[in-house]
């Protein structure tokens, strides 16, 4: 079984916090994309990830919205528009409290929207709950070794 999470995060402090919190609770490989273009390259096996085996998909994508190059909403739109990535659970994990961002995220197919807590202990607690639910409690679809639309 694939044991990989894709973290899409451009803030080095939030990246470090998230990595620490996830690794504390789940023994999964974490791939970090620091902008939306890098996330799309990883997901679709393009750019510097052209030789990646795209039949192995992340079990979960933790997606920030405010990203350089390609924003998180566009990453989500492209993921949901392609059969290879449509079923991957996406948790929007962002500091935005904008109602429009929340609505847009769900309209584009986000599975969850979580505002990043400022408090370190709350951040770790929230991340533990996210990981436990999405990777232990929730029933994920079977891995698909398939094709584009």
Range of the domain at 23: 4-137
Separation of alpha carbons 76 and 88, rounded Å: 10
Note the pLDDT tens digit of each residue in 85-96: 999 999 999 988
CATH code at position 10:
3.40.50.2300
pLDDT at position 143: 62
Beta bridge partners of 8: 33, 63
Q: How confident is the model at residue 147 (pLDDT cuts 50, 70, 90)?
A: very low
Mean pLDDT calculated for residue range 125-135 = 88
Q: Is residue 142 in a domain?
A: no
Q: Is residue 52 in a domain?
A: yes
Q: Is residue 95 in a domain?
A: yes
Beta bridge partners of 60: 5
Mean pLDDT calculated for residue range 128-135 = 88
Mean pLDDT calculated for residue range 124-148 = 75
Q: Is residue 44 in a domain?
A: yes
In eight-state DSSP terms, residue 133 is I
pLDDT over 90 (residue 144): no
Mean pLDDT calculated for residue range 65-80 = 96
Indicate the pTM of the whole model.
0.89
Note the pLDDT tens digit of each residue in 103-115: 999 999 999 999 9
Overall number of domains in the chain: 1
pLDDT over 80 (residue 148): no
Mean pLDDT calculated for residue range 119-139 = 87
Q: How confident is the model at residue 2 (pLDDT cuts 50, 70, 90)?
A: low
Strand order in the sheet with 4-8: 29-33, 4-8, 60-63, 90-94, 112-115
Among residues 10, 17, 13, which one has the least CA distance to residue 63?
A: 10
């Amino acid at each position: 079984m694939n044991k990989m999470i894709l973290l899409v995060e451009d803030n080095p402090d939030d990246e470090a916090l998230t990595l620490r919190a996830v690794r504390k609770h789940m023994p999964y490989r974490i791939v970090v994309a620091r902008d939306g273009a890098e996330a799309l390259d990883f997901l679709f096996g393009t750019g510097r990830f052209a030789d990646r085996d795209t039949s192995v998909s992340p079990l979960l994508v933790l997606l920030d919205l405010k990203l350089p190059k390609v924003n998180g909403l566009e990453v989500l739109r492209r993921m949901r528009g392609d059969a290879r990535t449509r079923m991957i659970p996406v948790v929007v994990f962002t500091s935005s409290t904008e109602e429009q961002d929340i609505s847009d995220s769900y309209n584009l197919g986000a599975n969850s929207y979580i505002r990043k807590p400022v408090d370190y202990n709350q951040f770790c607690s929230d991340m533990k709950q996210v990981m436990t639910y999405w990777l232990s409690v929730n029933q994920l679809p079977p891995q698909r070794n398939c094709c584009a639309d």
